[in-house]
Amino acid sequence: MIKKKIKYIDPKIWQLIKKEEKRQEENIELIASENYISQASMYAQGSKLTNKYAEGYPNKRYYAGCKFVDKIEKLAINRLKKLFGAESANVQPHSGSQANQGVFFSILNAGDLILGMSLNSGGHLTHGMKLNVSGKLFNVISYGLDKNQKIDYEYIEKIVYEKKPKLIIAGASSYSLHIDFSFFSYIAKKNKSYLLVDMSHYAGLVAAGLYPNPIPYADFVTSTTHKSLRGPRGGIILMKSKYKKKINSAIFPGIQGGPLMHIIAAKAVSFKEALSLNFILYQKQVIKNSILLSEILKKRNFKIISKTTKSHLILIDLKNKNITGKEAENILSSVNIICNKNVIPNDKKNARITSGIRLGTLAITTRGFKEKEIIIIGNLIADAILFRKNIFFLKKIKKKVKNLIKFFPIY
């Protein structure tokens, strides 16, 4: 066969990709939902599998020529089931939102009542936020945190007993502690509700045995694959076998058409990586780094929501520092430290301003940061926020960041 030479005919896009790669190398990434995918997984996602249409499921496709992609999807499913000890799995959701929608449309009708954690208390927008399809199509009740900034289990028990939601959702985007899945399961069973756990943030920690595994407790478990699982951008659903048929048809043909076979291959690669001892060591370091970072910030008089962390993330209340989340995000960004502004419980400021920031240690740990670097970063974050008016000082911090990262290339 004649080999054609590859031509990069789009220099504009190519230059922007190169610039983004440089930005990633030059910044300390603390966005709690971001991570760096392995080269092997990235290669799979950039492969020619993207050319293949494979509507349907392995051995039951609507197109010919699927013998290899069938094998790939089966491998992905089997590795995923092994990773979490699940009965069944669907690896086709294009994203976490699609995974959650797949669950909704498998068991709910428009107008049904669902219960989820409110976005303002640390939940996710697909758990019933009013502008999201979950909030538009279903009736929603929400829970939040109690006075100790832990999930308000007492309220959940009361409201579920009173209102009998058809579906209860456990899972969060900015909750740093363990979620008591056995409690959720007990309440759901008692009131004949379905239980969905969205473990998007915690999945990698769960796989490594460092965060409670929701599989024995939930009817459905969804996740993204690109956060703590360190795979390509995408979603998954794990479920008891009795729901397999319903979930599969809710995803295809329910809400999706052709699966992204290149992404499914990349998912399979990352599941294999997640089954390794190295992955467990990585996740242990993620948590060590996160706890240490929170301790350093506490010493510098920063207020940590829920007082501590048992995961990869930390939510910080900035009210005592007289700075909004948006301002803090900008200041840190100016010294090449990237994080996101985040609403905190009972925040008086809206989501574009906020009174807090969220930090996470997934990406920096992949990059190789350990205790020594965390101590430096924690103090640089505190210095930048506390001495934000001193431009000269900020320049010095940026230089220190540059010096630190040059020893930690991402790839």
Residue 66 or 339: the one with the smaller Cβ distance to ligand DSN is 339
**Would you say 139 and 133 are in contact if contact means Cβ atoms under 8 Å apart?**
no
Under rule CB under 6 A, which residues in 352-381 are in contact with ligand DSN?
Answer: none
**Residues 371, 365: Cα–Cα separation, whole Å:** 10
Out of 100, 134, 173, 185, name the contact with ligand DSN by CB under 6 A.
173
Under rule CB under 6 A, which residues in 78-137 are in contact with ligand DSN?
Answer: 96, 124
Q: Confirm whether 194 is a catalytic residue.
A: no
Residue 49 or 177: the one with the smaller Cβ distance to ligand DSN is 177
- Give the binding-site size for ligand DSN (rule: CB under 6 A): 4
**Residues 264, 72: Cα–Cα separation, whole Å:** 7
**Would you say 354 and 341 are in contact if contact means Cβ atoms under 8 Å apart?**
yes
Write down how long the chain is. 411
Out of 27, 33, 176, 289, name the contact with ligand DSN by CB under 6 A.
33
Q: Confirm whether 55 is a catalytic residue.
A: yes
**Residues 167, 195: Cα–Cα separation, whole Å:** 6
Residue nearest to ligand DSN (CB): 33
Under rule CB under 6 A, which residues in 270-299 are in contact with ligand DSN?
Answer: none
Say which of 29, 73, 198, 219 is annotated catalytic.
198
Nearest approach, Cβ of residue 173 and ligand DSN (Å):
4
**Residues 349, 336: Cα–Cα separation, whole Å:** 25
Residue 33 or 248: the one with the smaller Cβ distance to ligand DSN is 33
Nearest CA-CA partner of 47 in 79, 66, 69: 69
Nearest approach, Cβ of residue 33 and ligand DSN (Å):
3
Say which of 224, 361, 365, 366 is annotated catalytic.
224
Q: Confirm whether 53 is a catalytic residue.
A: yes
Decide: helix, strand or coil at residue 400: helix
- Residue 406 to residues 285, 368, 373, Cα–Cα distance (Å): 21, 12, 12
**Residues 250, 98: Cα–Cα separation, whole Å:** 10
Q: Confirm whether 227 is a catalytic residue.
A: yes
Which residues sit at the interface with ligand DSN, rule CB under 6 A?
A: 33, 96, 124, 173
Give the residue numbers marked as catalytic: 53, 55, 198, 224, 227, 233
